[in-house]
Each structure stands twice: as C-alpha cells, then as structure tokens.
Structure 1
C-alpha cells in the first residue's frame, strides 16, 4: 500500500473521527472500533447515539478549525464545505467516505483476497439494476451481496458470513464523491438528469461525481441518455460499452427482435440473444433499460448468457418501485415512491398509458418543467402534496394548464385542505377531487394516524375522483413524487405504505404480491 491507504497497516493505533451516527457512520465506526482503533463519532443531531461508542457534537473535536486525528470518515450527506471536513483538510487529515474506507480495507487484504466490485449509479434505476445484478450473480457459482445505497453498508457486506465474492454496489453521487479511489471491475452510469444540485452546486459537479463509477476496466453507459451516453471510461485502458433500447451497434448491448441482444462480449462480438424482454419486471422501457444494463455488467465480468437470462427472467422488483399495490377494477394503484426526482418520475409515467399522478415533496433544487412537458399527454390529473407542491403546480400551470390539479396541505386545525390550481382545467373535475379529499380527511389525525398519512389518504381519494372525470380511459393512480419524502415521511418506504393504505381506504382491493 502507499499514501493514505497505508493507514490500515496498523489499524489498532488509529485515531479516527467518524462524522455522522446514521447507518453509514455506524458501520464505519463499529468496524474500526472492533479492530482496536480509537473512534469518536460526531453528530450534531439531538439524541444521536451509538451503543458502546462516544457520540459528541462537532465542536467537541474541532477546536480553532483544527482536527486532531489520523483519519476522518464522513457519512455520504456531509458536504465538502462542512466544518469538520474543513478542519480535517486544514490539519492535513485524510478524509474518506465510508465506501472509500471499505475499498481500502478490501484491496489491502485485511479481510482476505479482494472482491469483485460492480458499481451501479445514475439518476434513476440504480436500485432495480443493482438488484437485477444480484439476482443474476446469485444463480452463478459466486456469492453476492447488494450493498451501498441500497441499504446494506459495503463494510457490512465485506465482513458478512459466508464470505461474499461479488459486491453489487449501488452508489449515490454523494458516496462516489467521497470514494475517489474505488475502481470497480465493472461500473455503469445508467442516466443523468438534474438531482442533488443543492449538494453538488452545479450539474457539472454532479456529473463528475457520477463518473466515478467508470474508473475500472469496464465502463457501461446508457447510450440512449444524452448525458450518460456521452460519457466513457475515465482511464486510458478502460473499455466503454453502451446499452440501448434499440438494436445494438458493434460493441453494444441493446434490444432487437424482442430480445436483449449482446454484441459486446460474445466470440467475435457476433450478435447473440440473451433473454426475451416480454415478461421482464418491472415492465416497460425503464425496466428493460435496467435489465439491459444489468446484462452488460454481468456478461462483462464473465457470467454466461444462460445464467444472465435465468436471473433476469426470474427477477421480482423490490417494494415501492413501480409496485402495483391495489386496484379498482381495471385501474391500478401503483407505488413508485422510489421515484424521488423528476427524471425517475418521468420514466414512471412513461411506463403507463394514462395516469392520475400523485406527486410532490422535496425537489432538492431540481427543475420540473421538462417533466411536465414530457408527460403532459399521459396525465389525466394531478394531486400534489409536500413542501414543494406549489413549484410543481406552477410548472403545470405554465405548460399543461388543462390538467386538473389540486394541492393538499394540513391546516392549523389538523384538517387537510385541498386547493385548486388556477388553470384551464375542468372545474367540475377539480371540484370532485376537492370534495373527495375533504371526505377522506373529515377527522384530524389521531394517535394511530399521522398528519402525513392523513394527507396521503386525502391525495389518493382526490386522485381516484379524478379518474372518473377523465374523458379518456385511465389505467393507473400513480405515486411518482419526483421528490424526496423527508419533509413529511421517515422515508420513501413509509410514503409508499401510506399511499397503499390510502388506496385501500378508498375502496381498492389490495394486490397480492408475488
């Protein structure tokens, strides 16, 4: 080892400050403490604690802008300009993200031979693609763990028993920013659209962070995406493979004659069919695009096409990702709460013929005009909630004023208020939506129902009412928020659960999950 990575040669003598007591920070802190390092966790949130470890405010370890430590490990959400990071840099202390720490631990041989890393990133489709990779590798002779942003910290995957051979690592732009050494065997950038610009400061910085997935020998990029498709391997000896929803060119993986077709990895790059796209889940272009990327990654690390086909054809998407949770006859309630940015919401709407959209939350600085323009012809109505609901409503007014739209919020009296959006929409449709929302929220939230749950129940009722006013058939009430959930809910999962409960309360029949 050389440079800062040599720190791990005597891990028991390290003095480490870990910034953040959440999932990532807790994983890093416990890993280091279990190996004898002296670890202090800093977290300024009230009540932050970790069993057996010191958790102190940042001010307790940063004095006069100086950090007295051998290493600072930061959780993904910490910005580069945060006080503890600035103090570390001023003191010459190396700053690693918890994924960077995991990388150095792995390549150092501390836990045995290094693993095969597959890194998945993009604005939309990361979790589905990562899960598809896991499903394929599980059917091979190798052991695998989906980890990173998907839930399981990478360090926890490294110490898991039985030993994991392949890490299918979903990495966010934050994680990639703080992991500049990670060099995966294969990595993909699925797509790029505005997201997290409040954190990165610019679109260029966001794209640069995502490009960290392309540092290895195989760089896979979504060829149909205007930004991702222009990217390539960031190392001189790296190979770039593009994926497409259309017929692949030489050296690409795409779709032709109803099959995912490989022209990148077979003998002589002769076209070979991998798996039929009919029956792949989730259905529609976004699901096929994710499957094509997963196929390219798995073929690229040497998994045979039959195993790839087996894994993809048997794959079942995770919760809250285009999941049908209930139905009113031919109209389904679709929970895509994981669509936490406009790009993801656009893909979600595109997978359906015509929908009533339930959206809103924290936009994180992203614009929604392109979303509205792209999906207006598929949206029969919109019900908006959350802190940035008015931003989305204003975009609808500008670009698609004929869409009946209402916004919902909780008043001081605890009741849900439904406000019409001033536009050229059908007044009768808006009136029905308002009345349905009012009926669904006739009673303030009690101890078993949060105010957020109450708003969501009203939103589903309003959306269902709009289904009945559409002159064209609607096939779904779709929760595709285009925004994060933390303004109202503990996470996107809780938001999706509230949506499903609201649909059932509105007379829908719960869907039996396969």
Structure 2
C-alpha cells in the first residue's frame, strides 16, 4: 500500500515555497481577509473564506476569487463551524479568540494567524538581498499619524517606503509586491498584535496606553490583556524599542520584552531629553540618542514651527517617528524634510472655521478618552462635543484633568450618560447640553447650535468625542463631515 504523503506544515513555509496541499481558512472577508485569501491562492494553497457580513463589494471580490479556485461562504451561519482538514486559519483582526471558528481551531491545535503574521512569513529579499525591515508602531492613540510621519521621513531620505498594516495597503499585499520596498512603516493595532507570533521588527514604538477596546477582551483584567498585546510589538525587536517617557507603562513593556541582543531603549519626551532620548530643546526637536557624543550634545532635527501643528500630542508623534527613522539610520536633514512635508489626514485637529472669535475644530478621530484628553489639552477654553460608543472606557480621569478648560459640554450618542455622569462627579459646575439621539443630520445641527450658545469669543468648539461613531454614523470621518457641514451651514446662514 502506498503511504499517504505527509501534509505540508504551513509554519515551515515561506514565499519561495510551494503551498500546494495547504488547506487554509480565512476568517473574515474584509480588506485584509481578501488580501490574505488572494495571496494564499497565488502561492498554491486551497483557500476557504468565511464571513457572515455580505455587501456588493464582498460579493464582487468573492466572485473573483471563486474563479481562481477559492471556496467562499458569505452567509448567516458560515462562521459557526470550522471545516474539516484545515492546516491554518488566517483571521481578520477584529475577531475575538472566543469566536466559534477560532475556538474550534484552538481546540484542534490548528495555528491561528493574523494577516500580519502571514505577511511576516511571506517577506522576500529586497534590494539589499534581505527582506525589507519593519519599523512598527502601536499605542492607544496617534498610530496612524506617527506611521504616516515616519513614511514621509523615509521617503524624504530617498527610500522606497510604504505605510502599511492598520493604515494604507494591506500588509500582505505590500510584502508580495513584485517591486520590493526598502522599508515598511507598519501600524499595528492590539487586535493585530494578538495574532502575531514571529514578527521581529527592526525597531518598534508604543506611543501610549489608555483604556480602549476593553469590550474586546473578555478576561478578568482586560486592561492588562490589552497592554500585553500592545507590548508584543517589542518582542524580538532588533535595534530600538521606542517608549513614551510620560507614560511609564510603555517603559515597563520594554523592560518585559525579549529583544534581540543590542537593542536599545529610546525614550521620547516633550521636555528636555536625557541621554538616549529625543525631546524638545527651546524650539527644536532634538536627538540625544543617535548622535556620537550624546552625553554632552544633541542633534537639531527640526523646529516646532516646521510641524503642521504644535499640539502636544502631534509633537509627541513627530518625536516617535523621528526616533524610529533615526534608528534606521536616516539623516537629520531627512527627518526635517519629512516632517515639514507631512500634513495629517482629515478629522485630526482639523480647523473648520473661525467666526465671531470662536474657533471650530474637527478632531472626530479622537475615538477614545485618551485621544480626547490629548486634544482638549491643546486648547485653553473649550466647548467640548463628546459622545458615541464608549467601548467600555471610563471618563473620570479625563474630566478631572480638563475640567478647568471646559466652557461647556455638548453630548450626543449612545453612551453619552457615561460622560455626563463623570462630569457630574468631577465638574458639576460645567454647563452640559444633552441633545439626545435623533437623526444623524438633525442631531449634528442641534450639536452645533448648542455649542454656539455656550461659546464665547476666544473659545474653541472642539469635536473630540472620546467615543466610536458607529451608533449614529458610518465612521469617524462621516461624523466629522457632518460636524463640518453643520458648522459651515450655520455660519453661512449668519452671513445672509
């Protein structure tokens, strides 16, 4: 009798290996799921993709992959049962480990990877003969801005770079690009890091840690689990572990990490930098970590006025990006040029209008309390627009720290009572207007009208909700667009 050939072990395979015979299940058919399924098919694997959410876009992509030989199930109940004879599961990052499909895989000893883990295994030699290194960024807030700043710096240095991961192109698609990159600036969420085992970033940064996504973690200490996932970014770091001097939790994650011998801990601070740090000296971003005589001198990187914003959290992001770039060997001039050229995406401390002495700011991207607090601390007198889906986070610490800045508060959204209760405990004298739920458009117009009644010349009306948007809006961008449109309509009506 002819023996049955051994099944291939996907854990031992890379980009140059044949994946013929590997049976892969892709859990979730969003952007990253499609990229994973597409490239696994290209490598020769047998792919089954499962998702219960259907849309015209997903149906079109499903039809394309089915013509290439994939099995696609996009219907109710599709993710309840893991198929037989599976060698690996590649999951979308938002799936909890307790999801039936993933729990069944764990029970059967089947490896569960995220798209980031798959991408790391599929890296290929670049222009230098080695795979393009990863400069990785995580944190509760500022990830996207920092990664985009970093990408701008790397491009200013003449490198073929891409911002990937939780921003930009799916990372699997980027690493499989036939034209190799020099380096990747990689944004990673806690969800992505949870399913990442073997990544070894050249350098990595945790920008900050605060309550967010705690509803995703089901253990008795969700904040500890969340922090542990963030800290995975430092494991096996090769050159630098960049941490936030103002957030001791990030330094502890560095201390707990198992890094490559010789990797350095590099701090960033809005104060004067010590040895081994980047910080601020007078009006300059200064480097005392990657200069030869760092015990007695610092290198000037750029001025504060070179940045698109001097808000403290924006400056901190610039310092973290500069630290990762300098760890990669980028020159001072390239750091300066890259930061000068960078402009943030919409809905990040975006100026909407100034009229009657009142400034209107859209920071709809502030989707958790920590982000909202960073935004609020950039202004002296604020009418704060807040509310939405709190995702299990609390607002007591925020309200205690910013109450002296608050002219008033306008609340909307599903979890607005969470914020109202914190304000009643810690800022009972601050006027609060609750505009209720209502329809999306009319609700935002009521928000703007209420904010205008509270604001005085010299104030900033700040949309920094501290919450996710999906209770009332498609996403944070739609929320910011509604706010901006409502502000402009009101000001136009006043001019007529």
- TM-score relative to the length of structure 1: 0.85
Deviations 1:165-222 (A, max 9, x none): 2111111110111112111111100110111111124111111111122121210001
Which runs of no fewer than 5 residues in structure 2 stay unpaired? 1-7, 66-71
Give the distance between the partners of 2:451 and 2:108, measured in 1 at CA: 55
Which residue is 1:144 aligned to?
161
User: Following superposition of structure 1 onto structure 2, how do residues 284-323 of structure 1 map, counting pairs within 5 Å?
Assistant: 284-323=311-350
Which residue is 1:251 aligned to?
276
Which residue is 2:94 aligned to?
77
| Residues 53 and 74 in structure 2, CA contact (< 8 A), matched pair in contact too | no
Give the alignment partner of residue 51 of structure 1, picking from 56, 63, 66.
Answer: 63
Offset of 1:502 from its aligned partner?
0.9
SS of the residue aligned with 1:13?
coil
User: Following superposition of structure 1 onto structure 2, how do residues 170-209 of structure 1 map, counting pairs within 5 Å?
Assistant: 170-201=187-218, 202-209=222-229
Which residue is 2:258 aligned to?
235
| Residues 68 and 91 in structure 1, CA contact (< 8 A), matched pair in contact too | no
SS of the residue aligned with 1:318?
coil
Superposition CA RMSD, Å: 2.2
| Residues 13 and 121 in structure 2, CA contact (< 8 A), matched pair in contact too | no
Offset of 1:250 from its aligned partner?
1.0
Give the distance between the partners of 1:58 and 1:116, measured in 2 at CA: 40
Deviations 1:14-56 (A, max 9, x none): 2111111111111111221233322111112255533324124
Give the alignment partner of residue 271 of structure 1, picking from 295, 298, 321.
Answer: 298
Deviations 1:390-439 (A, max 9, x none): 111111111111111112234xxxxx4xxxxxxxxxxxxxxxxxxxxxxx
* Cα separation, partners in 2 of 1:161 and 1:409, compared to 1, 3 Å: farther
User: Following superposition of structure 1 onto structure 2, how do residues 370-389 of structure 1 map, counting pairs within 5 Å?
Assistant: 370-389=397-416
Which residue is 1:210 aligned to?
230
Give the distance between the partners of 2:492 and 2:459, measured in 1 at CA: 14
SS of the residue aligned with 1:227?
helix
| Residues 134 and 186 in structure 2, CA contact (< 8 A), matched pair in contact too | yes
Which residue is 1:402 aligned to?
429
Deviations 1:419-465 (A, max 9, x none): xxxxxxxxxxxxxxxxxxxxxxxxxxxxxxxx212211221121112
Give the alignment partner of residue 180 of structure 2, picking from 163, 174, 179.
Answer: 163
Is residue 2:242 matched to residue 1:220?
yes
Which runs of no fewer than 5 residues in structure 1 stay unpaired? 411-415, 417-450, 510-514
Give the distance between the partners of 2:285 and 2:9, measured in 1 at CA: 44
Deviations 1:335-384 (A, max 9, x none): 11111100000000111121111111111111111111111111111111
* Cα separation, partners in 2 of 1:497 and 1:67, compared to 1, 3 Å: farther
Give the distance between the partners of 2:265 and 2:451, measured in 1 at CA: 44
SS of the residue aligned with 1:102?
helix
SS of the residue aligned with 2:248?
coil
Give the distance between the partners of 2:107 and 2:92, measured in 1 at CA: 19
| Residues 61 and 68 in structure 1, CA contact (< 8 A), matched pair in contact too | no
SS of the residue aligned with 1:506?
helix
Which residue is 2:120 aligned to?
103
Give the distance between the partners of 1:158 and 1:122, measured in 2 at CA: 23
Offset of 1:62 from its aligned partner?
5.7
Offset of 1:107 from its aligned partner?
5.6
- TM-score relative to the length of structure 2: 0.88
Offset of 1:251 from its aligned partner?
1.1
Give the distance between the partners of 1:226 and 1:149, measured in 2 at CA: 25
